[in-house]
Amino acid sequence: MARSVPAAPVAPPLLDRLNGPLHLAVALAGVWLLASSPWIGMYDRLPQPAGWANLAHAAVGFAALLAGAVYAAGCAQGGRWRQYFPWAGGDIGAVGRDVTGLVRGRLPTVEDGGLLPLIEGLLLLALLAAAATGAAWFFVQGTEAAAALREQHIVAARALGVLLALHLVGVALHLLDFVRD
């Protein structure tokens, strides 16, 4: 009688394996970009001389755009986009239940397309919007479009800051709840 050989475990797709490192890279880049923004001196072009803060902001911004796009692709694969962007699929019932539960003193869930995954999805979109408008601003330096892109970049960066704060509050509440249990 032949012995059966157990099947080799299937390796997760590359984007799944990169999820943790990409999340960390995107988070660190976003925090660094927000924290360094008070030292940025750009309006419609990089100043001459640009200085380390302006050059580093632009370089980290381009890296954030690339890492954010790959991370977004990983988050969207296999239909998972419905978890982070339930409104795009027309299903915001879980978000409503989480908001109702929050009013009643219950923590929202971290899955099933609820409030916290919605915040994560919007945070990722804000990062991509800030990075894309920053990159576009960089490429049209010295033109009239640069000033308009700067304003859009600032709005996206502020949304990124607010959503990052909400995300951190959600993470902290769940860590606290985990420690209590």
Using CA of residue 92, residue 167, residue 178, residue 13, what is the dihedral sign? Answer: positive
Whether 131 contacts 68, CB under 8 Å: yes
Residue 7 scores a pLDDT above 70: no
CA–CA dist 127, 171 (Å, integer): 18
Q: Which residue has the higher pLDDT, 85 or 127?
A: 127
Residue 99 sits at φ, ψ, to 5 deg, of -65, -45
CA–CA dist 104, 70 (Å, integer): 37
Give me the mean pLDDT over the 6-35 stretch.
Answer: 82
Q: Which residue has the higher pLDDT, 27 or 3?
A: 27
Q: Which residues contact 50 (CB under 8 A, 6 or more apart)?
A: none
Position 38 confidence tier, pLDDT thresholds 50, 70, 90 = confident
Give me the mean pLDDT over the 44-57 stretch.
Answer: 88
CA–CA dist 137, 133 (Å, integer): 6
Per-residue model confidence (pLDDT) at position 167: 95
Residue 60 scores a pLDDT above 60: yes
Q: Which residue has the higher pLDDT, 85 or 177?
A: 85
Residue 154 scores a pLDDT above 70: yes
